Amino acid sequence: MPAQIDTNGTPPLLAGRACEVFICEGLCLDGQIVETAHVTYLKFDGHWTRLYFEPGVIFWRDGQPTLTQFSDAEHTAIYPNNDVGLRAGVIGQTLLNYAIQPTEDGCQVIFSFTNGRAIELICNGEFTDYNFT
């Protein structure tokens, strides 16, 4: 049975806007990749948005990333920034839309661009990863 999705914050109106930045901040614990999209930072037409997930909840916030890696010695965590927008070929492309969809054990947000490319953020329980096509 698909999970129920709650939203915290106001989802931004991004359709028709050009993508300037699409960064997924990962999470590595003790040298192991736990998540590739712990927090996602989007910049469309000059406006920054921060997107992250907890079980059953999608959070939308204004927020600019710290574009450097850092570690937390107490938790032996590293938070690498992945330039997904560049790798997916969507920088400068116009967003057609994004869709929020429930999955069996979480949810996903799919961003579709005018050049036919798409970036998916997939939250399965407590962990979030990205994929692009």
Residue 69 has pLDDT above 60, yes or no: no
Beta bridge partners of 47: 44
pTM for this predicted structure: 0.90
Q: Please provide the distance, in angstroms rounded to a whole number, between the alpha carbons at the two ends of the chain.
A: 26
Q: Please give the average per-residue pLDDT across 9-28, as a whole number.
A: 95
Give percent of the chain above pLDDT 90: 70
Q: How far is 71 from 108, CA to CA, in rounded Å?
A: 27
SS3 helix, strand, coil % of the chain, rounded to 5? 5, 60, 35
pLDDT in tens, 77-110: 788 889 999 999 999 999 999 999 998 888 999 9
DSSP state of 18: B
| H helix count then E strand count, the chain | 1, 12
pLDDT of residue 73 exceeding 70, the answer is no
Q: State yes or no: pLDDT of 14 exceeds 60.
A: yes
3-class SS string, 75-115: CCEECCEEEHHHHHCCCCCEEEEEEEEEECCEEEEEEEECC
- Which among 35, 28, 65 is positioned nearest to 50, based on CA atoms? 65
Distance CA 33, CA 80 (A): 10
Mean pLDDT over 113-129 rounds to 95
